[in-house]
Chains A and B, each alone.
Chain A
Amino acid sequence: MTDNVSLDNTLIAAPPAVTPRWLWLLGGYLLIFLLVAVIWESSKALFAIPDYKLPHLTQIAEAFVRPTPKGPVWLILLQDASYTALEALVGFSLGSLTGFAIAVLLQRYVRLRQGFLPYVIASQTVPIIAIAPMIVVGMGRMGAPPWLSKSIIAAYLTFFPVVINVLRGLESVDRDALLLMRSYAATDNQIFRLLRLPTSLPYLFTALKISATASVVGAIIGELPVGSTRGIGVQIVVGSQYNTFNPGFLWATIIAAAMLGLLAYGAVALAEKRIVRWKREA
């Protein structure tokens, strides 16, 4: 509110002397990070928290750059994270495509919708991710490539949010626009292409943003059962096993996993900005 007042004063002068919002935010973020670092290190010193519980920030940084026979740790983590990202991406694409197709089918056929929708909705209140170990172990025994089971987990975690949101989007067309199309004797296909599809896009992206993270989580969870050899989930398990000897590495693996989740989310958010230009979400 005070910003507006000072704006009025500077309107006459050529360069507005108001601090830009982004600069103010950046300063705030830097302050927060500094604050976190100070609290982190001082509580460590104050309460004598051992390294295996809370390593020094420098230990985490050092864990990233430490050399190994296969190259520095950050490079290994990058490779494992990319592997997990690929698993998640395959599942994400598979899940969102089938989810979209099913949503279109359910929108077209009322009978199908009545039969299946309750289950799709119930799937959101039920921990479906619990099936993960069975898929990994079962498919591993069948000799499927190791990445496939992780992709399938990511796919079914992506599937349900996409169905629900796209269906909601396809249904939430403007009444008047629908009547207008009907009065022009537009076919169902035309209504779909020109009206329902564009309306559903923001809803689709809401789902995709949820699913992007969910697919990464799914892939990581899929890497937990014994027998997995690659991926950031494997590194997290290794990190937790060697935590007492090598404090810092566990945090490094978890930071890598967090970055992966943020990156997946960011990629979808960026795509949304490019594609859905006509409508910004609140």
Chain B
Amino acid sequence: MTGASNRMQVWLAPLLVFTVTIALWEGLVLLFKPPVFLLPPPSLIWQSFTSQFGQLMSYGFNTFLEALGGFVIGCGAGLVAATVVARSPRLSALLLPFAVASNAVPIVAMAPIAIVWFGIGPGSKVAIVAVMCFFPTLVSAVRGLTDISPDALALMHSYAASDWQTFTKVRAPNSLPFVFNAFKICTAVSMIGAIVAEFFGGAVNYLGIYIKTQASILKTPDAWAAILVACFFGLAFYFAVVLLERWLMPWHRRRG
């Protein structure tokens, strides 16, 4: 990827696709006039977005805070658990299959139980997001802490390094790329978890509940506008973590 023309194409092509899609969408809706609740034209979604921008952003921020809270608790607990589990190969062999299998379990389905435990408010959403973030972080961090080149360990051993020194100088840095991969996955997971957990019930000033209510009273443009906001927060969260990764690991650049 060198040369100005090539770099411009990288931006131009997606922009073109975006413009054509929006134009086609608007045009086809004008032409065939499907009911607005089924497929509103982009112009109407935009109108709904701009007219209640402040409200939508505050709903989005509320939901984002749930996602962030769950992310911090879940990923933090995952990291702590990983440092414990990674110390014993037996323990990780025993526990990791559970952690991997938990990926196959629809954790959001447990939202009703979370509501019973932590109330209908943000607490239950934070709990669901935390559980959803815990397992990917645990699995990745254990992999990163144990997937060490034997030479590096032998070298540390030859220097009579303590366990703690090996951990801080070799294991922890080695695990960073793995951990950040998990973090990036968890940003998406946490926004999804928060919104979907809200589908099970909650106060009205959150994105998930707003989307569900507006959809059920057939105010589809409002719901689409709320999804725009959800996308914005999802992307912002993701790129915040990417920036953090670049800052913490300048030596490691993600491969395209």
In the assembled complex, which residues on chain B have CB atoms less than 8 Å from the CB atom of A265?
Answer: 101, 103-104
Chain B CB within 8 A of A77 CB? no
Interface residues on chain B, number (Cβ under 8 Å): 55
Main secondary structure, interface of A, reads: helix
Complex: chain B residue closest to A247, CB-CB? B116
| Cβ < 8 Å to B, chain A residues 108-144 | 111, 114-116, 118-119, 122, 124-127, 129-134, 136-139, 141-142
- Cα separation A116 to B224 with both chains bound (whole Å): 21
Interface residue from A119, A137, A221, A262 paired with B108 (Cβ < 8 Å): A221
Chain B CB within 8 A of A152 CB? no
Known A115-B17, A116-B17, A126-B235; judge A137-B218 contact (CB<8 A).
yes
Chain B CB within 8 A of A212 CB? yes
Give B185-227 as 1s and 0s: 1 = Cβ < 8 Å from A's Cβ atoms: 0011001100110011000000110011001101010011011
Measured CB to CB, the closest approach of chain B to A195, in angstroms, equals 22
Chain B CB within 8 A of A59 CB? no
Chain A CB within 8 A of B155 CB? no
In the assembled complex, which residues on chain B have CB atoms less than 8 Å from the CB atom of A226?
Answer: 216
Known A133-B212, A138-B220, A212-B104; judge A126-B188 contact (CB<8 A).
yes
- Cα separation A131 to B98 with both chains bound (whole Å): 31
B37 touches A127 (CB 8 A): no
Chain B CB within 8 A of A191 CB? no
- Cα separation A236 to B112 with both chains bound (whole Å): 8
Comparing B8-16, B25-33, B49-57, B74-82, the segment that makes contact with chain A is: B8-16
A134 touches B192 (CB 8 A): no
In the assembled complex, which residues on chain B have CB atoms less than 8 Å from the CB atom of A111?
Answer: 13
Interface residue from A28, A127, A129, A243 paired with B116 (Cβ < 8 Å): A243
Give B160-200 as 1s and 0s: 1 = Cβ < 8 Å from A's Cβ atoms: 00000000000000000000000010011001100110011
In the assembled complex, which residues on chain A have CB atoms less than 8 Å from the CB atom of B101?
Answer: 262, 265
B109 touches A220 (CB 8 A): yes
A125 touches B16 (CB 8 A): no
Main secondary structure, interface of B, reads: helix
In the assembled complex, which residues on chain B have CB atoms less than 8 Å from the CB atom of A257?
Answer: 106, 109
Interface residues on chain A, number (Cβ under 8 Å): 58
Chain A CB within 8 A of B249 CB? no
A217 touches B9 (CB 8 A): no
Chain B CB within 8 A of A73 CB? no
Chain A CB within 8 A of B230 CB? yes
Interface residue from A116, A125, A131, A258 paired with B235 (Cβ < 8 Å): A125
Complex: chain A residue closest to B36, CB-CB? A138
A221 touches B37 (CB 8 A): no
In the assembled complex, which residues on chain A have CB atoms less than 8 Å from the CB atom of B212?
Answer: 133, 224-225
- Cα separation A129 to B189 with both chains bound (whole Å): 11
In the assembled complex, which residues on chain B have CB atoms less than 8 Å from the CB atom of A237?
Answer: 112, 200
A134 touches B112 (CB 8 A): no
What 5 A-B pairs come out closest when comparing CB atoms?
A: A265-B104, A240-B112, A114-B13, A115-B17, A133-B215
